[in-house]
Amino acid sequence: GAGVSQSPSNKVTEKGKDVELRCDPISGHTALYWYRQSLGQGLEFLIYFQGNSAPDKSGLPSDRFSAERTGGSVSTLTIQRTQQEDSAVYLCASSLSPTGGDTQYFGPGTRLTVL
């Protein structure tokens, strides 16, 4: 596709359920990033991938969060046993490489609501 796509666009779930969020980066982009944005706030960095590897997972809020990337393309962010504080917009971005200053292209986000 022409840009970064994310699915679903909206997800409403009950507390305690697991959710899986998907990101399709721009073709050829080796770097992929996940962020979380609470209402009216800036972006909280979660994790980035260089290819299929995640050099730094320290941004993940808890061990209920995990992410993987396969084939150097699609990535999934999984949240287990969701809590109400997990409610936020989850944004994915990709860039040609993770070097400083390289342009990140963002998807429209997945709005997660945990009831």
Partner 1 sequence: TQLLEQSPQFLSIQEGENLTVYCNSSSVFSSLQWYRQEPGEGPVLLVTVVTGGEVKKLKRLTFQFGDARKDSSLHITAAQPGDTGLYLCSSDSWGKFQFGAGTQVVVTP
What does the binding site for partner 1 look like in residue numbers (CB under 8 A)?
Answer: 4, 31, 33, 35, 40-45, 48, 50, 55-56, 59, 91, 93, 98-101, 103-109
Give me the least distance between CB of 16 and partner 1, in Å please: 28
Query: What are residue 86's phi and psi, to 5 degrees?
Result: -80, -10
Give me the least distance between CB of 13 and partner 1, in Å please: 20
Whichever of 17 and 62 has its CB closer to partner 1, that residue is 62
Give me the least distance between CB of 86 and partner 1, in Å please: 19
Task: Specify the 3-state DSSP secondary structure of 86.
Answer: helix
Give me the least distance between CB of 91 and partner 1, in Å please: 5
108, with CB counted inside 10 A (0-12, 13-18, 19+), is: middle
Whichever of 5 and 73 has its CB closer to partner 1, that residue is 5
Whichever of 79 and 107 has its CB closer to partner 1, that residue is 107
Task: Specify the 3-state DSSP secondary structure of 84.
Answer: helix
Residue with tokens 């962010």: 77
Peptide bond into 8 cis (omega under 30): yes
Task: Specify the 3-state DSSP secondary structure of 114.
Answer: strand
Whichever of 59 and 72 has its CB closer to partner 1, that residue is 59
